[in-house]
Amino acid sequence: MFDPYKVREDFPILKQKINNHPLIYFDNAATTQKPRQVIEAVKEFYERYNANVHRAVHTLSHEATSLYESAHEEVAKFINAKNIEEIIFVRGTTEAINFVAYSWGLRNLNREDEVLLTLMEHHSNIVPWEILSKINGFKVKYVDVNSDGTLNYESLEDSLSRKTKIVSVTHVSNVTGCINDVKRIIKTAHEYGALVLVDGAQSVPHMPVDVKDLDVDFLAFSGHKMLAPTGIGVLYGKRELLEKMEPFHGGGEMIRNVSFDTATGRCLISWNDPPWKFEAGTPNISGGVGLMAAIKYLKSLGMENIFSHECELSEYALQRLQECHKVSFYGPKGRSTRCGIIPFNVEGFDSHDVALFLDSFGITIRSGFHCAQPLHQRLNLPSSARVSFYLYNTREEIDRFIEVLKEMEQL
């Protein structure tokens, strides 16, 4: 049985107080806290194995390389990729999306082409495509959302055409917690010959994600949103696509051979095999080790259990929020269409004021646009406060959150 109270014992930061109140951490969509198993794995790496990878024959380098490659293997198994050749370590979801935009898009998108996004995208899945469109001249089209923040699938299907070369869509909205049917999107996009990039920043840490079952072409996610350190993330790509793509970064490690041609006065370069072809320079080795430890921790709890726990918390919080007379909350109502993210506002208060008031009682939430201004504009929201749950949150914390909100309503 999943026991969040037992889980909490693994997280040292949750034992502290903020403003003389027990910490209630409800900002998990932004980043998650780290269990001692991850902290100790990173500490052990620096104490016992620290060396550069793929560059030396000495023992420490061999051990560091083994750990780093094992981290790729652990990620591959976690999302059911074929092998580590499909797993590229990057800094996070943002870099992964930029990676696809520039490594694939720069060479494959022309003036006649279209890129399809949605109005619920995080800025990191909007800005790179808009920048690239100014370089290559292709058109960026946006799929509408419904009034409850869910995706308008009819709008999406109407927007697809043979001009569509890639659909880049979030799996779970970081604002509303809306879960998109990406399998349906992928199937439909493939019928038009389009590739699909899924932003899994808010899905991979919270629910089972199987890249083979989805038949997704690219999947991006961040380690820090799933108990791992900051600065480490993953881009999954189908092997046949990665083999055809040019590297995003150039430097050491990603080359097989560099030789000087005296006839032309230039260097001749051949690339390494994936994934190393795309991991230029000294990588975030300790981050990879931490990510591996985080995945092992998540697997020990079971992703289905984690997802079920978060859905129960979200359902309970939505019920309790109805007791508040000045609180409006947004997003889909059905349990099967949302996960543990709830945006809300308190009448008469700016979202930042709400966040500051809650912080004075030790409750941490996000406020503002959550890097998703177009969705706020579409839902006619000036901004929003946001609570987001994870595996260590409890009903008692939600009860305390509601108590403080009710105090705020009395001001």
Active-site residue numbers?
A: 371
> What burial class does residue 5 get, using C-beta atoms within 10 Å of its C-beta: 0-12 exposed, 13-18 middle, 19+ buried?
exposed
> Which DSSP category does 22 fall into?
E
Terminal alpha carbon distance of the chain? 42
Reading the block at residue 319, the tokens are 């019920």
> Which DSSP category does 282 fall into?
S
Strand order in the sheet with 327-329: 327-329, 341-346, 384-388, 366-368
Give CA angle at 83 (78, 87), nearest 5°: 70
Q: How far apart are CA 78 and CA 27, in angstroms?
A: 24
Taking a C-beta distance cutoff of 8 angstroms, is the pair 148, 332 a contact?
Answer: yes
Residue 117: closest CA among 58, 41, 171, 170? 170
The alpha carbon dihedral of 288, 293, 296, 298 has a sign of negative
Residue written as token pair 């890639």: 166
Amino acid at position 292, single letter: M
Q: How far apart are CA 118 and CA 14, in angstroms?
A: 36
Rg (CA), the chain: 22
DSSP secondary structure letters along 84-95: GGGEEEESSHHH
Q: How far apart are CA 345 and CA 209, in angstroms?
A: 31
Residue written as token pair 């370089």: 135
